[in-house]
Structures are given as structure tokens and as C-alpha cells.
Amino acid sequence: MPFALPPKMKRNLYRTRLEAFALCVLLLCWTYETPQEIQWVEYFAGLGNLSSMMKASHYTSLRFDILDHKQESHRSSNYMDFTHSSGFGLAILAVLRCIPGDFASHLGVKCSSFSRMNVGTSRRMACDAIGYLAYSSVQLGNILLERTALMVLLITAMDGVWTVEQPSGSLLEFYPAWREVVNSIFRCGGDYAVQKVNWWMAHYKSKTPKRHLAFGNTKVLLALDRGRLRKWKRAGVSKVQTAVHYLDKQGKKRYKGTAQLKGTEHYPMPFARAMVDIVEQMKAARRGCPQLPEVVPPFQEVLTWDWLESDVWQCAGLDDLYKYLRGASALKIPQDLKRHFPKEL
């Protein structure tokens, strides 16, 4: 089914505020119990090889993917769909259940409209990574990335370590909301608070050489790079054809992905093992969590602050998430704070 931004999200395209995200987090805290016991959370998990390996290594783990639940015909949303308010709310709740200072999270955000192969359709480029919003695939990619960026902020604030993975050549790092989040982590954790690494998945027994990149708030992430890829053709790595090249009617060289390309999005088990081997080191070297002031101001005072307004949150849909959470039957807002939480933003 084609994806489309809800009407209200379109009307508020340039009015979404980070303050709304903070209010949504509070609403979740006042609706559900949040025992802090989770050590690993994987989003966009796919086959879930990372989570399976973490669980086998005795880490209390959660995984999320739209494949994990098929939406019933009588339901208006899917709680495993990151683009739905129920799904995004559950994803946030999972982080709130993690052990502060002792958990890790991996987000392999959907990459299709951010890949170099898709630029002819998405019209994304380094100077305009938002892309052509008339296409539903571009809208879908934007909402997933903006919500992923918000999750990264929350994980960092919870003193966790996070990694965000993409295929090499992805234009994700140029997206305005992502750059704003990374810059805010730099301001709290220093110039090296966020690291970037590239590696060949063939070093982890992949069927194709495939180059990947990842970002994270730990320098230990750099250990994933095992150097140059040598003699991979002799080793029989590239047995799968993931793209075909051809000439169009104008004689220009073109290429497109094959049905085998999708299979390369799954992490091989040796890569999952490598992540398990370094996860404790990654947690020990995490950066970016802001320090609390000596005197924590009351909530009423925080609401009077001038929150940073920005036009980079075009598709996050936080007003819709707030409305969904504000209507929860189990919500119990403290009596003295109710006036600060209207039914809608």
C-alpha cells in the first residue's frame, strides 16, 4: 500500500518541535510501567541475527521490525510499524525500559531512498538530502530517518550506546535533521562524540563484497573496519549478481538492482558475533550524554524555556504521536501538570 503523510502532518510540515518529543516521552512514562531491565534493542531488525546473537550471549534483548507483526484488517495501525504512532510509541517505550548507562541499540534504518542507486527517483543530493517529496518512497524514507534521529537523541540522553548502519554511499549523513542531532551530541560529548566507520561485509563471510558504513557514539565502532578487501574474487565471494548494467535509448549507461540485492541487507552471523565481541567496549567508551545540572529545575520552569525552533523536522509527525498518546485510557498525568498537556498540540 503506498505511503502518504497524514493530513495533519502536511499542515504542520515546518512547525514540529523537539519539545513535542519530550512531552511524548513524559506521556509514555505516565501511561506504562517502565522497569529498566533491557540491555540490547535492535530496530529494523529484519532476520534479527544481531538480536539472536545478543540473546544467545545472555543479553536481555528486544527487536523491532514491521515483519514481526501483520496488521489486522480491523486495526488502524501496526505496533511494529515505525511510521505509525503506535509503532513509534512502542519503540520509544523500549528505550525507556533500558538500563541507563548499560545498554546498546542498533538501528539499521531503511536505506532504499537514500542510496546512490535511487538518486534518479529520490532526487537526493548532498546539498538537498530531503529529496523530492511528491514521491511516497521519499516521504517514507524521511519519516523513518527523522524518527530514527529522535531515537538516537533519546538513547544518548539515557546514557546508552547506539549504532546506525547504512550501505556505503548513503546520503543519510547529509539529511538536515540527522546533522542537527549529530551536532547536538558533539556539543555535549566533544568533537569525537560521534564516529563514522566503513567496512567490507565480505570480511564477515557475506555472499557479496558490499561496502557498509555506520555511525555511533563510541570510538570502538572503528574496530569493524578490517582494512582493504583482498583476493575476494578468488574466495568466491561475489557469486550473487545484485545489479545489472545496460544502455538506455539515449545510449547512456544505466544500472538497476536485481532481486538478489534485497538479500544483502541481512547481516551475516559472523558480523553479529563481531558486534557481540565489542559491545561491552562500546558501552564503556560511549559519549554524548549531557550532564544534569547540580540543581534540576522544576518541570513548570522547563516549559517556560525557549526551545530551539528548527525547520529540519519536516516529517517526524510528532503532533500526531502526541495526540495518540494523550488519548491513552491508562494515562495518569500528575494533577498539578495537567494544564500543561492539552488534548492536541
The CA distance from 151 to 25, in Å, is 11
What is the reported pLDDT for 7? Answer: 44
Find out whether 142 and 314 touch, Cβ atoms under 8 Å.
Answer: yes
Assess whether pLDDT exceeds 90 at residue 199. yes
What is the reported pLDDT for 9? Answer: 40
Res. 12 pLDDT band, cuts 50 70 90: very low
Average pLDDT in the chain: 87
Res. 238 pLDDT band, cuts 50 70 90: low
Res. 326 pLDDT band, cuts 50 70 90: very high
Per cent of the chain over pLDDT 90 is 63
Res. 207 pLDDT band, cuts 50 70 90: confident
Backbone angles phi, psi at 121, to 5 degrees: -90, -50
Per cent of the chain over pLDDT 70 is 86
What is the reported pLDDT for 255? Answer: 61
The CA distance from 332 to 32, in Å, is 9
DSSP letter string, 128-146:
BTT--TTSHHHHHHHHHHH
Domain 7-300+313-340: give its CATH architecture: 3-Layer(aba) Sandwich (3.40)
What is the reported pLDDT for 3? Answer: 46
Assess whether pLDDT exceeds 60 at residue 235. no
Res. 1 pLDDT band, cuts 50 70 90: very low
Res. 120 pLDDT band, cuts 50 70 90: confident
Query: Global pTM?
Result: 0.87
First CA to last CA across the chain, in angstroms? 29
The domains of the chain are located at: 7-300+313-340
DSSP letter string, 265-314:
GSPPHHHHHHHHHHHHHHHHTB--PPPPPSSPPPHHHHTTS-----S--S
